[in-house]
Structure 1
Amino acid sequence: MGFVSQVVRDSETFAKNRADMLALVQQLRDLEARPVALSEKRRERMEARGQLTPRDRLARLLDPGMPFLQLHSLAGYMVDSSDPEKSVPGASVIIGIGFISGVRCMVVVDDSGIKAGAMVEMTAAAFLSAQETALRHNLPFVHLVESAGANLMEYKVELWAKGGSLFRNLARLSAAGLPNLAVLHGPSTAGGAYMPGLADYVIGVKKNGMAALAGAALVHAATGEKANDRDLGGSEMHASTSGLVEYLAEDDAHGVEIVRDVIARLDWNKSLPPRPARAFAEPRHDIEDIAGVVPTDYRIPYDVREVVARIVDGSDFEDFKPLYGASTVCLQAAINGIPVGIIGNNGPIDPAGATKAAQFIQLCGQADIPLIFLNNTTGYMVGTQYEQAGMIKHGAKMIQAVTSVDVPRITLYIGASFGAGNYGMSGFAYEPDFLFAWPNATTGVMGGEQAAGTMAMVARAGAKRKGEEIDEERLARQSAMIAAHFDRQAGAFYTSGRCLDHGVIDPRDTRRVLGFCLETCLEGRARKVKPSSYGVARF
């Protein structure tokens, strides 16, 4: 018999959960709208130069009607500004996986409508993540370039030091046999000149495209030479004199059209073995209801199977050892016809749950079945009973299994994900293939309330040891400050702003996102590429 949902759709609990979750989803959409609105303010100026806006370029690049999975839409949020009302997410870059001439590609678009596309701290982090994802999943890399380079007003030495990794990874992409293409829509100067310099194919747009190690002003200041930007690095010069540009485009639209044509002529999908069509049934339980299933307060329990029943084929799954380590849930199911193993939490992870999960992970590895981790746990159990039962060694087994298993891993933070429980559940440090968060997700070493309580006990113990009276009023103020400090950093929007995931998603999009990510993982693994010792060099 299939899963029987216990959710009552017309209950007060369902209505409250749904209202709370949708309020967070609206907050997510409002945050994502900020960089769009800010960038659009420069539309008139860009059109006066004969340019398309960054998002118009992206729209013309991608195949109409095909899915596009945006990544790192909140990058930079609460990093560039400590004011949540003024902080603009996006880090002046638009990143995602989409289809170009039928080919699944990683796409990066400089958002030149915001600070002329200048890079800030989280731009580099998001860009590196895009490159690493392309390398992992054998995706061609397309970069629509128009950037003023590093934002010198927010210069940090670590940004410069880590920035070299962007160019290193372009070389790695080429050496891995993955074509990377750059379109010079506007300037790419200083270190940014190596973006086209290390691309395999460069399309330069007439009049606006420009790449140079130093612009005219810097050249004059450094050498006294009076030059102009077009002679130093204009697309026309690079196409006729330096050899940096392979294809010269009349305008932005033509440049994007050339990218689509070049990718089509690569015949990239010829190396991809055909995958058999898989018949599957949509979930019997409506995914629209998922917002009412999950409380936004992680302290309120619910059955993670209610989530699974709304994202897997036919709402059908097999429960693995359901009576053993019951708070750790291991399920066999399918999404879009692709068999998957799912590990979820109905509470903290105890020794039995850790050993069950470790065995389940290894079985999925043996059968080459992708794993999905649905994080909602406050961590591994603590206390004398659990220490004597071997919590450390059993938790370590789970962490070893997660670290070592060689199948696609997709992680979702759907509630709490604290402490070492995050590690066992394939958190950020374990480099899952994809990692997304729901807007209610809370992550960190522990919750603010627990941190404050822990520090209060330490303070009381210290006072008792010294024979001193504890100042309860001062301790209460300190506890409130500690709780606020932890909780401020735990929210999904804050952590996503620091690129500690691939993005925050609407829970109702979960099945669609998981299906896209699974297809990306399996396609990448099936694709045959021709790596070489060096990237393709331009002579």
Structure 2
Amino acid sequence: MLVRERIDALIDPGSPFLEIAELAGEGLYDGVPAGAGMVTGVGTIAGRPCMIIANDATVKGGTYFGMTCRKHVRAQRFAWGNRLPCVTLVDSGGAFLPDQANIFPDEGLFGSIFHNQVGMSADGIPQIAVVLGTCTAGGAYIPALCDEVVIVRGLGYMFLGGPQLVQAATGEMTGAEDLGGAEMHSRVSGVTDHLAENDAHALAITRTLVAELPARTPERWHRQTAVDPRHPVDGIYDLISRDPRRPTDNRAVLERLVDGGDFTEFKAEYGTTLLTGFARIGGYQVGVLANNGVLFTESALKATHFISLCCQRDIPLLFLADVSGFMVGREAEMAGIAKAGAKFITAMSSASVPKYTVITGGSYGAGYLAMCGRAFRPTAMFMWPNGRAAIMGPDQAATTLALVKRQAIEKGGGAWSADKEEAFKAPIRAEYEAFASAYNFARNLWVDGVIEPAETRQTLTLLLDLAARTPACPTQFGVFRM
């Protein structure tokens, strides 16, 4: 069975599969398609949401590149944060040796997979491995560190060193079956726990193991009956700004995203370039922060107040980001924009409630950070296909660098024509536009994926349902500069 056929056979018929990092690694490696040789996502197995991590042996033998490691680690951390059982479909040749600098030495790479497995086990999160092919070197430790291991007779093999390496290292001549076959590990070494006859049998055993896991914890939030939005969800496409210099109307987006289109706004007359308020998605209450222009001092102070309310009431936060950044200039600086922005970032970073970020347009500079950018570890983060993010917009970057260049030329007594200036700015704009693309962010795993705007509501409902089973954690705020 191919990797997606295995996943289809594993999850409940007709149930959704929320794929994570589908585009990771796209275009980054020669001969490696999007996904970096692995499929990860949340699927329902025997009525239980689980994180599924599946090697694709058709891509370089299921070996791990740097991006494969990062994707595996991201899937584990998502599972850990949402307390999801991990089911790993192992079919991997271990590390792709030429890429060792991006696989071996640092935190967040291959070693972190093992570290996370140990930590998740200590935290009581079930882990099941299904050995469906050859698992070599580090690939053998992944199942060995799981709670239970299923292996397929005649297809599944586990060894720290394959027959060739053993011969080179010790001179011993041995075959794969004797060295690490399913029969040996099930009857002699005890490394595996369940012996299957084929892929389908192994996946059926796995479904039984998941069904026997302890019951899920009760929901921490009261979930009301879900109500359709006031306007059709696909109407969002009519709202998306085609001009990157003009933001999307996030207030209108909310009417097509939240239950009944009902948005109870907080401080509606103050700091109007940031919308804050309460709504429900799929019956779950959320605290929404949605951009409505550049961030001013008042906007940042409002955000700080609102986030503290949501933390006190244990309400998840949803950030709809479409912002060019914080206001700059003498008047803004005198009004304490840096101090107010620091309060906003402190509140957002400290908040221990689930946090979800969706970039609906452009998200630049410190505005990207304040709206719960990747550095602040949102529970999940997605971009719409039109989404963009960068340290600044293409025009601003080109103009800023051109001004520096012009000042240097004129200081030396030279002159710079408009044509030469435009020739200087054009490649800078192109570079920033390519960098800011949603697909560039997805391929580099700076977001969890690119989602269709019309699927945003369904995706958030699923994510909130997962978070509802996690324990509440009190928030301890950092120092707020007054």
Report the TM-score when normalising by structure 2: 0.94
Give me the whole-angstrom Cα distance separating, in 2, the residues matched to 1:126 and 1:384: 43
CA 1:268–1:132 in 2, change beyond 3 Å: closer, same or farther? same
1:149 aligns to 2:94 (yes or no): yes
For residue 77 of structure 1, report the CA deviation from its aligned partner.
Answer: 1.3
Q: Deviations over 1:168-212 (max 9, x none)?
A: 111111111111010000011011110111111000100000110
Paired amino acid for 2:289: I
Rounded Cα–Cα distance in structure 2 between residues aligned with 1:449 and 1:331? 33
Cα displacement string for residues 300-358 of structure 1 (whole angstroms, at most 9, x for unaligned residues) = 23421111000101011112222221111112111122111111112111111111111
- Residue 140 of structure 2 is aligned to residue 196 of structure 1: no
Residues in 1 aligned to 2:391 and 2:455: alpha-carbon distance in whole angstroms: 28
Deviation at 1:275, TM superposition (A): 6.7
1:190-248 per-position Cα deviation (integer Å, ceiling 9, x unaligned): 11110111111000100000110111111112222111111111111100111100000
Secondary structure in 2 matching 1:297: coil
Alignment check: 8 A CA contact 1:411 1:434 kept: yes
Distance 1:422 1:352 in 2: 18
C-alpha distance in 2, partners of 1:515/1:416? 24
In the aligned structure 1, how far is the partner of 2:420 from the partner of 2:341? Answer: 37
Does 2:46 correspond to 1:113?
no
Q: CA offset at residue 115 of structure 1? A: 2.0
Paired residues, what number?
470
Match of residue 231, structure 1, among 178, 181, 186: 178
Match of 1:466 in 2: 412
1:318 counterpart (264, 283, 296): 264
> What 5-or-longer segments of structure 1 have no aligned partner?
1-51, 528-539
| 2:134 aligned partner | 187
Q: Which runs of 5+ in 2 are unaligned?
A: 474-482
- Residue by residue, what CA displacement relative to the aligned partner does 1:477-499 show, whole Å, maximum 9, x if unpaired? 22112112221111000111011
What does 1:126-525 align with in structure 2 at a 5 Å threshold? 126-152=71-97, 154-161=98-105, 162-269=109-216, 271-272=217-218, 278-470=224-416, 472-525=418-471
The secondary structure found in structure 1 opposite 2:51 is strand
SS at match of 1:525: coil
Larger helix proportion of the pair: 1
**Who is 1:32 aligned against?**
none
Q: Shift of the alpha carbon at 1:454? A: 0.3
DSSP 3-state at the match of 2:133: strand
1:127 counterpart letter in structure 2:
H
Aligned with 1:510: secondary structure?
helix
Partner AA of 2:193 in structure 1? E
The reply on whether 1:66 has 2:15 as its aligned counterpart is yes
How large is the Cα RMSD of the aligned pairs?
A: 1.7
Q: What secondary structure sits across from 1:268 in the alignment? A: coil
2:40 is equivalent to residue 91 of structure 1: no
1:109 Cα shift?
0.9
SS of structure 1 residue aligned to 2:449: coil
Q: Which residue of 1 aligns with 2:477?
A: none
2:52 is the counterpart of 1:103: no
How far apart are the structure 2 equivalents of 1:399 and 1:88?
37
Contact 1:75–1:91 (Cα < 8 Å) also in 2? yes
Deviation at residue 288 of structure 1 after TM alignment: 1.0
Tell me the distance in 1 between the aligned counterparts of 2:343 and 2:69: 34
- Residues 253-295 of structure 1 show CA distances to partners (whole Å, capped at 9, x for unaligned) of 11111111111112332x4358765223211200011111112
CA 1:275–1:332: 2 relative to 1, 3 Å: closer
User: What letter corresponds to residue 155 of structure 1 in structure 2?
Assistant: D
Instruction: Answer whether contact 2:382 2:448 (CA < 8 A) is retained.
Output: yes
Do 2:289 and 2:320's aligned partners in 1 also have CA atoms closer than 8 Å?
A: yes
Any idea what SS the aligned residue of 1:358 has?
A: helix
Give 1:526 deviation, angstroms. Answer: 6.7
In the alignment, residue 128 of structure 2 is paired with which amino acid? L
Kept after mapping to 1: 8 A contact 2:53/2:88: yes
Q: SS of the counterpart of 2:349?
A: helix
Q: Over residues 449-468 of structure 1, what are the superposed CA-to-partner deviations in whole Å (9 max), with x where a residue is unaligned?
A: 21110000111122233333
Cα distance in 1 for partners of 2:166, 2:417 equals: 64
SS in 2 for 1:188: strand
**Distance change >3 Å, CA 286–CA 458, structure 1 → 2:** same
Larger relative contact order (Cα-Cα within 8 Å, sequence gap ≥ 6): 1
The answer on whether the counterparts of 1:272 and 1:526 sit within 8 Å (CA) in structure 2 is no
Distance 1:225 1:297 in 2: 67
Q: Render the CA deviation track for 1:515-539: whole Å, top value 9, x for unaligned.
A: 1111111112379xxxxxxxxxxxx
Q: Contact between 1:436 and 1:501, CA under 8 Å: does it hold in 2?
A: yes
On the 8 A contact 1:273/1:526 being kept in 2, the answer is no
Q: Distance in 1 between matches of 2:215 and 2:183?
A: 29
Q: CA deviation at 1:472?
A: 4.7
Percent identical across equivalent pairs? 39
Amino acid in the other structure paired with 1:329: L
Deviations 1:42-82 (A, max 9, x none): xxxxxxxxxx111111111101122221110000013225x
Looking at structure 2, the residues matched to 292 and 148 of structure 1 have their Cα atoms a distance apart, in angstroms, of: 47
With normalisation by structure 1, the TM-score equals 0.84
Shift of 1:474: 4.0
Amino acid at match of 1:101: A
1:429-448 Cα distance to aligned partner (Å, 9 max, x none) = 01011101111110010112
The amino acid of 2:430's aligned partner reads A
Counterpart Cα distance in 2 of 1:365 and 1:136? 17
Contact 2:153 2:196 in 1 (8 A): yes
Q: Which residue of structure 2 lines up, in the alignment, with residue 78 of structure 1?
A: 27
CA contact (8 A) 1:296 1:415 kept: no
Q: Tell me the amino acid that sits aligned with residue 55 of structure 2.
A: D
Partner SS for 2:288 = strand
Alpha-carbon separation, structure 2, partners of 1:225 and 1:185: 26
* Structure 1 residues 229 and 441, CA gap change in structure 2 (3 angstroms): same
Deviation at 1:366, TM superposition (A): 1.3
Q: Quick one: which amino acid aligns to residue 305 of structure 1?
A: R
Give the 3-state SS of the residue equivalent to 1:63 in structure 2.
coil
Q: 1:310 to 1:431 in 2, by over 3 A?
A: same
